[in-house]
Structure formats: C-alpha cells, structure tokens
C-alpha cells in the first residue's frame, strides 16, 4: 500500500503531465470531496472525481501553474503539502500565492478528502472573479428538487 505522500506526489506528477485519466482511475476515490475556500466561481465543495478534474481543467484554462514546494506526512493516512499557485496572463492579470493542502488517503490508497488553505484569499478571489463570470440565472442554479 502506498503512503499518503506517495499518493499525493503521484497525483502531482500526473497533473503536470496532464494525465487526468490516471488520476481519476488510480488516485482519486470516486466519492472524493475537495474543498476550496473563497468567493469566486471555482470556490466551494467539489464532489466526485469528475467534478474535481473539471476544476483542474479550469485551473489549467486560467493559466494557473501549481508547483509543489514541500510535502510531509501527518500520520499514516494524511499528507500535507505546500504549493505555489501562480499565473501571469497576457492581459496583465496575475496570481501568485503560497497555499497549503491537507489530503486524506483511505485504506485503498485513494485520496478521498481534501481541504485547501489559501494564504491570500482576497487575491485568489479577485483573480478568479476576473477570469470567470457566473452563468446567468437560471443556468447558474441547480434544480432544488
């Protein structure tokens, strides 16, 4: 069974090679819950591997580069990492933040819970609110039933 550090490191390797298929099939639990704080279109809870991979696609589309700075074990089933998320878009829009993410790995060696902690929430909100627009109502809203 791989360690939590090995699982998260492999996720980064696959992400940087755009190998999202391996992430979905071999690294993410199908019922993964990924939490990203903020008040912007990409913020909030993502449920399931497909939704998290769609989020990754939007990060890529926004020109965000994620560099792993440090990773450490926190018990047998948890890895905590520090990463730098940055973007420098042609229109002058910039993002540069050092953030921390807490990963829980289940007994099958799959990432099942993730919490991101952001160093500069205002800058992240400002960046993603400038890059992405909300869809107009009613397309923006899920059916309450």
Residue 5 above 90 pLDDT? yes
pLDDT in tens, 18-44: 899 999 999 999 999 999 999 999 999
C-alpha to C-alpha distance for 141 and 60, rounded to whole angstroms: 24
- Among 77, 89, 97, residue whose Cα is nearest residue 36: 97
The answer to whether domain 4-131 has CATH 3.10.450.50 is yes
**Rounded to whole angstroms, what are the CA distances from 145 to 44, 91, 137, 141?**
21, 41, 17, 12
C-alpha to C-alpha distance for 96 and 118, rounded to whole angstroms: 11
At 143 the pLDDT is 83
At 140 the pLDDT is 84
DSSP code string of the chain: ---HHHHHHHHHHHHHTT-HHHIIIIIEEEEEEEEE-SSSTT-EEEESHHHHHHHHHHHHHTT-EEEEEEEEESSSSEEEEEEEEEEE-TTS-EEEEEEEEEEEE-TTS-EEEEEEE-S-HHHHHHHHHHH--PPPTTTTSPP--
Any idea where the domains of the chain sit in the sequence? Answer: 4-131
pLDDT higher at 112 or 12: 112
At 48 the pLDDT is 97
pLDDT in tens, 103-123: 999 999 999 999 999 999 999
pLDDT in tens, 45-64: 999 999 999 999 999 899 99
At 39 the pLDDT is 96
């Amino acid at each position: 069974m791989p360690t939590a550090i090995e699982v998260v490191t492999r996720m980064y390797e696959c992400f940087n090679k755009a190998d999202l298929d391996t992430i979905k099939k071999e690294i993410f639990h199908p019922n993964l819950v990924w939490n990203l704080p903020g008040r912007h279109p990409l913020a909030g809870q993502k449920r399931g591997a497909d939704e998290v991979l769609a989020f990754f696609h939007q990060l890529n589309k926004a020109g965000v580069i994620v560099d792993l700075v440090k990773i450490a074990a926190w018990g047998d089933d948890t890895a905590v990492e520090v990463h730098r998320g940055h973007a420098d878009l042609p229109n002058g829009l910039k993002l540069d933040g050092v953030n921390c993410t807490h990963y829980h790995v289940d007994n099958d060696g799959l990432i099942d819970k993730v919490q991101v902690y952001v160093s500069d929430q205002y800058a992240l909100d400002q960046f993603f609110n400038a890059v992405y627009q909300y869809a107009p109502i009613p397309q923006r809203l899920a059916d309450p039933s």
